[in-house]
Structure 1
Amino acid sequence: MRIKAAVIGAGSWGTTVANLLVQNVPTILWAREAGLAEQISTTHRNERYLPGFSLDARLAATADLEEAVCSADLLVMGVPSHGFRDTLEAVSPCIRAWVPVVSLAKGLEQGTNKRMTEIIQEVLPGHPYGVLTGPNLAKEILAGHAAASVLAMSDATIATRLQDVFATEPFRVYTNDDVIGCELGGALKNVMAIASGMADGLGTGDNTRAAVITRGLAELTRLGMAMGGKPMTFAGLAGMGDLLATCISPQSRNRHVGEQLGRGRRIEEIIEEMHMVAEGVKTAPVVMELAERYGVEMPIAEQVFNVVHRGRPAEEAYRGLLRRRRVREMHGLD
């Protein structure tokens, strides 16, 4: 029997994943705004988040949460981290028992510092849970370019079954049993992408960018391992792959924020003009709290936090990194 999928959240990535799913199984997309849901269903476009792209004509959308969820055999949560818990709680009366829940969010919850799959376990205990993550830029996937992602689930059998549900010919999906590592890689890289963008905004060269990305990977790996992730996960698609795409792509929202900060703009005006969420802005203070809790050095993340949340100039932050004490390259990793 073919399963039915529901994707909650009609932003750029939620819409893109729904467009992938509908090629394999009947899929409904929930949009918060009725007008957007109607536009997707009738014109097969999402002009607010994906202007100029056509969607699969089989994809239906609704603004009725119960309609989207009540008959779903798979629930995909495509809402940002700051609205994840509230949306999941609204879903909870509608969802049937044992339906798998897959998170697309790449962030951590402010206040609790929890991963999205931890929230799933709290709000929907007993449901299989997981995360789909990797170097996945929505517009490139909608354009039909090849891409790869990782699906990490609490149940390996369900992961294997869902692998075929998410995959299409140009969109390759791998499975991974490291839910913690995959989820942390997606959340922590956003902070490093802001740092990479700051380097570009300051006019530094490719050497600097390469150093920021590589040392950023070392930082997120140290914290990820301390929190229970497996080291090899951070060398794969959920770690290095996602980090590279987010740090270098002009489509990256977090890199854009960093670039504008490097050019001397204030964080408030940058965020105000953006239509979509840059998760790294909200994740930075959470990362610093986690780094302190686990005793992990994260100098790049610390400087991003100082620039974004304490108003420190980006140029001053980079000078601070250059003055750090000298250590072994694999410090804290071996």
Structure 2
Amino acid sequence: MTEITLSPQNLAEPTQNLSTPLTVLGQGAWGSALAHLARINNTPVQTWSRRGKESLEAVVGNAKVILCAISMKGVAALAARLKTIPLQPDVIFVTATKGLDPATKRTPSQIWQTTFPDHPVAVLSGPNLSKEIDLGLPAATVIASEDLAAAETVQELFSSDIFRVYTNTDPLGTELGGTLKNVMAIAVGVCDGLKLGTNARSALITRALPEVMRIGTLLGGQAETFYGLSGLGDLLATCTSPLSRNYQVGYGLAQGKALDEILEELGSTAEGVNTTCVLVDRVYDEGISAPIAWQVYRLLNGKITPQEAVAALMERELKPEYCDLP
């Protein structure tokens, strides 16, 4: 039997020759990986970073699809800036950012849709670790939009023999799955950092799913979305891989490191830290039960130790397993 080695050279072959111009905003690990995936299909791609030499006006003027892959803290300002620039009348906005806006508690897609109400907005999210994509390893993702034609346009831009793209019409649920799992990944990182074993990790991930679903559905997502790639799939990838920045945050806290030290060592954004703080405020306002998120919040803010966070979860009142599913 001939052994097949997965690599960019033998998998990343152009599958289409599309002429839909794409601009990727953000040249970090995720934005760069997405730009590479689009180029596999010979898609015309331009990229932009606020630290780069190209002006924003120069790279977005002819784009039919504008994909934002910057950190959450810059989304609202960037959307407002784009509002002042002449764009193609039928441009599609795609968000690949995972987080919640501290000021408004909105998701990235809600910010984009509010800023550009007459344009389709799509969400790209799934179990996609950028370092594995850089290695040419196969992956799958979801592109979600209430405008199915827009979702299918973006699907064609990124689909290749190393990247399978599915569509759905639940952008908010798709986005919340990718956002909320970052909080859970911090918790699982703590579990592994304390060397609590496979049993504990499996139990924690299993209990994390209904918490994500409970929060996500009450905030407007569809329950079935959270069983898919952008929900369960992303949860598994982020909670079980040391490549996950949010997992590394939890692991470092369990080893006694200070949060600032961990973030400095990462050298990149761990969106779960900001998301946890915003999320706890929002679920409190909505009256939603979120025990794992609550303990992560207390840990990140120095109110408890990792050991106390685990004990708090283990000592909760006894209940039926499925009592809190949406």
Q: One fold, TM greater than 0.5?
A: yes
Counterparts of 1:97 and 1:275 in 2: how far apart (Å)? 38
Matched residue, 1:70: 61
1-structure distance, mates of 2:90, 2:117: 9
Question: Which amino acid in 2 is paired with 1:8?
Answer: L
Tell me if structure 2 keeps the 8 A contact 1:108–1:114: yes
Shift of 1:274: 2.2
CA distance in 1, matches of 2:151, 2:29: 24
Matched, 1:89 2:80: yes
User: For 1:254 and 1:102, how far apart are their aligned partners in 2?
Assistant: 23
CA distance in 1, matches of 2:254, 2:325: 30
**Structure 2 residue aligned with 1:31:** 49
Write the letter of the residue equivalent to 1:121: Q
In structure 2, C-alpha distance between the alignment counterparts of 1:151 and 1:29, rounded to whole Å: 20
For 1:22, the equivalent position in structure 2 comes to: 39
Letter in 2 for 1:85: A
Whole-angstrom distance in 1 between the partners of 2:284 and 2:51: 40
- Select between 324-333 and 192-201 the one with higher mean Cα deviation: 324-333
Q: Which digits, 9 at most, give the CA deviation of each residue in 1:278-307, with x for residues without a partner? A: 000000011112222222211111000000
Report the secondary structure of 1:277's partner residue. coil
State the partner residue of 2:163: 171
Q: 2:112 matched to which residue of 1?
A: 120
Question: Does structure 1 residue 266 correspond to structure 2 residue 258?
Answer: yes
State the shift of 1:33 in Å. Answer: 2.0
Q: Distance in 1 between matches of 2:72 and 2:274?
A: 9
Aligned to 1:6: 23
Indicate if the aligned counterparts of 1:104 and 1:133 stay in contact, CA closer than 8 A. yes
How far off its partner does 1:162 sit? 1.9
- The residue that corresponds to 2:322 in the other structure is 330
- TM-score in terms of structure 1 length: 0.89
Partners of 2:289 and 2:91 in 1: how far apart? 39
User: Residue 166 of structure 2: SS of its match in structure 1?
Assistant: strand
CA contact (8 A) 2:185 2:250 kept: yes
Task: Could you tell me which runs of 5 or more consecutive residues in structure 2 were left unpaired when the two chains were aligned.
Answer: 1-17
Whether contact under 8 Å (1:153, 1:179) holds in the other structure is yes
Alpha-carbon distance in 2 for matches of 1:157, 1:125: 17
User: Which piece of structure 1 moves more, 190-199 or 17-26?
Assistant: 17-26
Shift of 1:98: 2.8
Deviates more, 1:184-193 or 1:135-144: 135-144
Report the equivalent of 1:215. Answer: 207
* Separation (CA, whole Å) in 2 of partners of 1:161 and 1:268: 41
AA at the equivalent of 1:147? A
How do 1:1-334 and structure 2 match up within 5 A? 2-24=19-41, 25-34=43-52, 63-94=54-85, 95-334=87-326
Moved more, 6-15 or 22-31: 22-31
Deviations 1:53-77 (A, max 9, x none): xxxxxxxxx5311111111110000
In the alignment, the residues of structure 1 paired with residue 217 and residue 114 of structure 2 have an alpha-carbon distance, to the nearest angstrom, of: 23
Give the superposition deviation at 1:26: 0.3
| Alignment-mate amino acid for residue 9 of structure 1 | G
- SS of 2:301's equivalent? helix
SS of 2:266's equivalent in the other structure is coil
The one-character-per-residue Cα deviations of 1:302-330 (angstroms, maximum 9, x if unpaired) are 00000002442111111111110011111
Give 3-state SS (helix, strand or coil) of 1:204's partner. Answer: coil
User: Structure 1 residue 197: deviation in Å?
Assistant: 0.2
Instruction: Give the letter aligned to residue 282 of structure 1.
Output: N
Per-residue CA deviations over 1:245-278 (Å, capped at 9, x if unaligned) read 0011111000000000011111122112221100
- The alignment of Structure 1 onto Structure 2 pairs a total of residues equal to 307
Asked if 2 retains the 8 angstrom alpha-carbon contact of 1:103 and 1:116, the reply is: yes
Check whether the contact 2:122–2:150 (CA below 8 A) recurs between aligned residues: no
Gaps of 5+ in 1: 35-61
Aligned-pair identity in percent equals: 41
SS in 1 for 2:216: helix
- Look up the equivalent residue of 1:64 and give its one-letter code: S
* Separation in 1, partners of 2:321, 2:223: 16
